[in-house]
Structure formats: structure tokens, C-alpha cells
């Protein structure tokens, strides 16, 4: 029989994903991870350097939602099914680490359904095949800089009725695409969290110096400093292209 202390601990975990990560998973989040886990914002952008822990963070958020909010629909989308599957494995890996694992009604390589009615589903970047989902409570787009813009436009309506949470996470990849646009001049309501390699205590200065020398400033700034740089294959800079656009010119057709 659960004691009063057990019930209090479960309630604390239900109310605070950071408490859940610490006490149930043995994971101590970095300050930015705590911010991402605790935010009540419905729209979140995570501009994170490589190996900063963004996938771990969102996997914990997804698992917490599935356990403590019965009936939740949680979608994980990425440029490929393999990448979505890797994020899904992090979710199930954390679930297996729990002392009291939730009972599952469905368990396969692509999705799980818990006994409380929550679903976690991993999907590829295919606008044509994911339109069947609706009333989504949490939607995580991994490697958003590399996902099709058509996918982004297809998934947003899934949150209309549920007023679900949308998380876009990625390293930058040029000044193009929906991740760059939402980060730089997107609509209101976004909470933007930027994490550079300098914010990650597990990445040493010595490693970063070697990466800077090997990759060059453009790739280093993009991969480790969260800077949106011009694509190496761009003929014109983003600023030049934007400056050429005028509302005064009448469309040809």
C-alpha cells in the first residue's frame, strides 16, 4: 500500500518534470533543460548545439506527459523515420528505467500506448502520411532545420483543437526554412532557448578548440554556437535576397 510519503512524491513528480527526472530517472538536468521542462509556453524553439542534450530533454518531457496526463497524444517527427526512432528509443529507454513502469496496451518499434490511454508515436518527415492525426497534445519536431517546410505546415493544424504544445529543436542550417524563420522573425508566442557549447559542462574547451581548427568558423559557429550562417551553396546572401523583394512591384501573373 502506498504511504503518504509515496503519494506526496508522486504528486510532486506529476507537477514538476524536473522533480520527475531527478527522483525517478536519476537524471540531473542542466539549467536550460530545467527551463525547457518547466515552461508552460505552448510554442518552444530549442536552438541547441550538438551533444547538448536536447533529445534527452524532450524525451523526458514526452514521457512525463504520457504518464501524468492520461489520454495524451504525443508525436515525434524528424527528417527520417530512423531519426524519429532514435528519439522514440530515448523515451522508451527512460520508461524502462522507472521502478514502476507504466503498463502498456501497445508496444512496438514505432509507438507505445499506455494503459492510461496515452500514445507516443514516431513518424518520418512525410506530410502526406501524418495528416490522420488530430487533437495532438505534444508535438516534437527533431532536427527542424532539416525537416520539410511542407511538413511543418501540415503538423501545425493538429494542435488547433487541443491547444497542444509544439517544440521545434535543431542546430541551425543556414538562413532558410521554417526553423530559421520562426527563430529570427516568427510570430508572437514563441519561447526561444539557445544553448551553445559554452553552456554545456560536458564539452571541454580543448575539444572545442580542436573543432574550431578542423571545421572552420562557419561550420563551428553553426554546429556549436547556434549561429545561423549563410549556406555555402548560396549564390546570394539572405539579406540580399530579402532586400530585392518589394511590395511596390506588380506581380507578373
Q: What fold does the segment set 30-195 form as a domain?
A: Rossmann fold (3.40.50)
Helix, strand, coil share (%) of the chain residues, nearest 5: 45, 15, 40
pLDDT at 27: 97
Q: In this predicted structure, what is the pLDDT of residue 75? A: 96
Q: Are strands 43-48 and 165-170 parallel, antiparallel or unpaired?
A: parallel
pLDDT of res. 188:
78
pLDDT the model gives residue 247: 45
pLDDT at residue 125, as a whole number? 73
Query: Mean pLDDT per 10-residue run, the chain (253 residues)?
Result: 63 95 97 97 97 97 97 95 93 94 91 96 80 90 95 93 96 95 86 96 96 95 94 44 43 46
The whole-number pLDDT of residue 242 equals 36
Q: What integer pLDDT is reported at residue 126 of this predicted model? A: 75
pLDDT value of position 134: 85
Q: For the whole model, what pTM was predicted?
A: 0.87
Contacts of 157 (CB under 8 A, 6+ apart): none
Q: What contacts 152, CB < 8 A, 6 or more positions away?
A: 141, 144, 178
At 234 the pLDDT is 45
What totals of helices (H) and strands (E) does the chain contain, helices first? 10, 8
pLDDT of 252 reads 47
In this structure, are residues 45 and 190 in contact, taking their beta carbons and an 8 Å threshold? yes
**Separation between Cα atoms, residue 182 and residue 71, nearest integer Å:** 30
Query: Where are the alpha helices (H) located in the chain, listed in sequence order?
Result: 4-15, 17-25, 31-38, 54-68, 81-96, 149-155, 177-185, 205-215, 217-224, 238-243
Q: What are phi and psi of 130, to 5 degrees?
A: -110, 5
Among left, alpha and beta (phi > 0; psi -120 to 50; other), residue 190 is: beta
pLDDT given at position 4: 57
Amino acid at each position: 500500500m502506498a504511504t503518504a510519503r509515496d503519494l506526496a512524491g508522486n504528486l510532486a513528480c506529476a507537477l514538476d518534470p524536473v522533480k520527475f527526472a531527478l527522483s525517478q530517472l536519476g537524471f540531473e538536468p542542466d539549467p536550460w533543460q530545467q527551463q525547457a521542462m518547466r515552461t508552460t509556453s505552448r510554442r518552444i524553439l530549442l536552438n541547441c548545439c550538438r551533444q547538448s542534450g536536447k533529445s534527452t530533454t524532450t524525451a523526458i518531457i514526452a514521457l512525463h506527459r504520457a504518464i501524468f496526463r492520461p489520454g495524451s497524444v504525443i508525436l515525434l517527427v524528424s527528417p527520417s523515420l530512423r531519426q524519429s526512432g532514435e528519439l522514440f528509443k530515448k523515451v522508451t529507454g527512460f520508461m524502462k528505467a522507472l521502478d514502476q513502469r507504466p503498463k502498456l496496451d501497445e508496444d512496438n518499434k514505432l509507438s507505445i500506448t499506455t494503459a492510461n490511454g496515452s500514445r507516443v508515436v514516431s513518424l518520418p518527415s512525410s506530410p502526406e502520411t501524418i495528416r490522420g492525426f488530430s487533437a495532438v497534445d505534444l508535438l516534437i519536431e527533431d532536427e527542424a532545420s532539416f525537416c520539410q517546410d511542407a511538413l511543418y505546415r501540415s503538423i501545425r493544424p493538429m494542435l488547433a483543437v487541443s491547444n497542444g504544445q509544439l517544440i521545434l529543436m535543431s542546430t541551425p542550417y543556414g538562413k532558410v526554412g521554417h526553423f530559421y524563420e520562426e527563430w529570427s522573425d516568427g510570430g508572437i508566442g514563441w519561447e526561444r532557448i539557445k544553448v551553445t557549447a559554452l553552456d554545456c559542462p560536458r564539452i571541454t574547451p580543448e575539444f572545442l578548440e580542436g573543432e574550431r581548427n578542423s571545421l572552420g568558423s562557419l561550420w563551428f559557429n553553426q554546429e556549436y554556437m547556434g549561429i545561423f550562417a549563410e549556406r555555402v551553396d548560396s549564390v546570394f546572401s539572405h539579406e540580399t535576397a530579402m532586400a530585392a523583394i518589394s511590395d511596390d512591384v506588380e506581380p507578373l501573373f
